[in-house]
Chain A
Amino acid sequence: MRRFAAKILGPGALAFPTWAYAVFFFVVPVALVLFYSFGYKPDEFTTVATDRLSLERYAESMTGSFLATFAATLRISVLGTILCLLISVPFAYWLAVKVPANRRGVLLAIVMVPFWTNFLVRTLGWQIILSPDGFLSDGLQQLGLLSGPLNILYTRAAVQIGVVYNYLPLMILPLFVAMDSAGQALREASYDLGAGRLSTFFRITMPLAMPGVASGCLLVFIPLTGDYVTATVLGGANGSMIGQIIANQFNTAQNWALGAAMAVVLILVTLAVVAVAAAVLWLGRLITARLTRVQLEGI
């Protein structure tokens, strides 16, 4: 009896409410979206019907403007992820290795402040900065660096700045954690054994930080691909992202079947990009591992 109670009250039972919640409010509704994507829109006033299932909505979604927007979205999100990574690696390294340990906590807290400010409000800050009659534009013109008003707001460049800005803390944090938690002793050993700074960075610090790089890229790339708020605020008519097209199917066109099919395409493409990136990384690691082994054997 006691054993039975322990089994019922064991960790599995403790997890039951979380399980139930995740199934009822995530698995079921997302499965429903998948189901709707095989349906159709019967008439003007009905959002979806599923009595006849087909792949027609997927074919219908593959229009020129959908594909063009999708390509533009991927360009922005892939470039945004790479830029975040390039900005964050030296920064996280500086924070985790160069800054004295007693000041690290304060600086890390300061990095987190933007993260705790509403991201839409921060984006509005960029709208003011980049505005053609804003202070930056006026200042640059007075300095003679610019002949006309700043012409960047409502372009793809503004969207790119905005997304890099908004998702940067999500890249810095995992990188910092990965660089901070391990490696100091190994780095010192590497120096003692005569390795230079660059060699130590690329052969000790970066390999150890790879899990941080991977989770940072995921944390930036996936939400960025689905985001359309930043792009709407800073890109205006030029900032249409794939998320906006999907949202329009639900809000304006009231065509849930088509919107659902587009959302499924979005998920599949996002996962495909992640898989390709992971494969490239894995291959790269394999090749470098092989090269260094050969080198060691040569000695």
Chain B
Amino acid sequence: MAYGKKRANTTNALFTLWGVLVFAFLFTPIAVIVVYSFNSGRVLAAWKGFGFNAYVNAINNDIIVSSVITSLQAAVGSALLATVLGTLGGIALARARRGAWWAAGLTGILALTLVTPEIVDGIAFLPWFVTLGVDAGIGPFNNGLVRLIVSHAMFSVAVVTFIIRARMAGIDRSLEEAAADLGASPWHAFKDITLPLAAPGVLAGGLMSFTLSLDNTILSSFVQQPGYTPWPVYIFSSVRVALRPEVAAMSTVMLVLTLVALGVVGLVLRKSGESSTAIIKTMAGS
């Protein structure tokens, strides 16, 4: 018995060691970027000394600032669009009768968008936007920001829809039926009962689409227009030339902002009475 317990302790220690190693693996590059954002040299990878020059230079670099602004605008826009479409789709799917053709079709198409490599989305959107904007003369599709928002929302819609569907599937339908029995119109039942129930999923989905959009490089590089270069595309293009510490500085600022935003969302979800594991799972979209 004592021997068995000792062996169990050893395996537990090995598991904990593995956990610590994986965490170290996950965080080393991020820590390196944060540290090197204080590099006072001209080249990111060559450490010359500690300083805040990179931060000052980043803020004063118009190209960097405008690309970050473009990215944020695209992220907010596509998150809103994807959240509205995904919420409607997710609620509809959760309420669909078994075997409804439109539900099966929608699930299939959205699943396909999730498994399509990003490069394929990119080369599909490029000619399509040219067709819509130039050939068909639909002006908005020539606008760089519209292109980014529409294309980014395309792959977030599936994520939001599936998050909302999972959320709504676990919720008893009788609440909405009770509202209808008590005389609420379909619109009121939707607004006062269904939407609040879906709210944590909506928040999680919106957050997911926001980060997916901020991260997007390949698709963006295909649909971007002059004057609307998003942040990751800017970084990717400067990788080929020479990386300066400004990139690390701006990334550190964005990391801090993301963490603050995540913390706020976590607090909001906690107030709505979710357990912490459930919150993370919702935010991670599972």
Binding site for B on A (CB under 8 A): 6, 9, 11-15, 17-19, 21-23, 25-30, 32-33, 36, 47-48, 87, 90-91, 93-95, 98-99, 101, 104-129, 131, 133-135, 165, 168-169, 173-174, 177, 180, 197, 218, 222-223, 225-229, 232-233, 243, 246-247, 250, 256, 259-260, 263, 266-267, 270
With contacts A29-B127, A127-B45 taken as known, whether A266 is within 8 angstroms of B118 at the C-beta atoms is no
Chain A residues with CB under 8 A of B217: 119-120, 229
With contacts A11-B92, A15-B89, A15-B103 taken as known, whether A118 is within 8 angstroms of B254 at the C-beta atoms is yes
Q: Is the CB of B96 within 8 A of A12?
A: yes
Chain B residues with CB under 8 A of A107: 19
Q: Is the CB of A94 within 8 A of B215?
A: no
Chain B residues with CB under 8 A of A225: 117
In the A-B complex, the 10 residue pairs with the closest CB atoms? A226-B117, A125-B29, A105-B276, A18-B89, A15-B92, A29-B124, A29-B128, A14-B92, A11-B95, A11-B92
With contacts A22-B113, A225-B117 taken as known, whether A15 is within 8 angstroms of B123 at the C-beta atoms is no
0 or 1 for each of B94-121: is its CB under 8 Å from A? (1 = yes): 0111001011011001101101111111
Return 22 A-B CB contacts under 8 Å, by A number: A11-B103, A17-B84, A18-B161, A19-B105, A21-B85, A22-B106, A23-B109, A25-B154, A26-B113, A30-B116, A30-B120, A48-B127, A117-B30, A118-B254, A121-B248, A122-B30, A125-B28, A128-B44, A177-B286, A243-B119, A266-B120, A270-B115
Interface range on chain B (Cβ under 8 Å from partner): 35 or more
Q: What residue in chain A is nearest B15 (Cβ atoms)?
A: A94
Q: Is the interface of A mostly helix, strand, loop or mixed?
A: helix
With contacts A21-B154, A32-B124, A118-B254 taken as known, whether A168 is within 8 angstroms of B91 at the C-beta atoms is no
Q: What residue in chain B is nearest A28 (Cβ atoms)?
A: B128
Bound CA–CA A229/B254 (angstroms): 20
With contacts A28-B128, A118-B254 taken as known, whether A266 is within 8 angstroms of B109 at the C-beta atoms is no
List CB contacts (< 8 Å) of B36-82 with chain A.
36, 44-47
Indicate whether B3 reaches chain A with its CB closer than 8 angstroms.
no
Q: Is the CB of A29 within 8 A of B115?
A: no
Q: Is the CB of B119 within 8 A of A246?
A: yes
Q: Is the CB of B117 within 8 A of A223?
A: yes
Q: Is the CB of B92 within 8 A of A165?
A: no
Q: Is the CB of A18 within 8 A of B281?
A: no
Q: Is the CB of B47 within 8 A of A135?
A: yes
Q: Is the CB of B29 within 8 A of A165?
A: yes
Indicate whether B137 reaches chain A with its CB closer than 8 angstroms.
no
Chain A residues with CB under 8 A of B88: 14-15, 17-18
Indicate whether B243 reaches chain A with its CB closer than 8 angstroms.
yes
Bound CA–CA A114/B217 (angstroms): 16
Indicate whether B157 reaches chain A with its CB closer than 8 angstroms.
yes
Indicate whether B258 reaches chain A with its CB closer than 8 angstroms.
yes
Bound CA–CA A95/B92 (angstroms): 34
Closest Cβ of chain B to A30, distance in Å, is 5
With contacts A90-B15, A129-B29, A266-B119 taken as known, whether A174 is within 8 angstroms of B277 at the C-beta atoms is no
Chain A residues with CB under 8 A of B251: 117-118, 121, 124
Chain A residues with CB under 8 A of B120: 30, 33, 226, 263, 266-267
With contacts A94-B18, A226-B118, A263-B123 taken as known, whether A121 is within 8 angstroms of B218 at the C-beta atoms is no
Chain B residues with CB under 8 A of A6: 186
Q: Is the CB of A120 within 8 A of B236?
A: yes
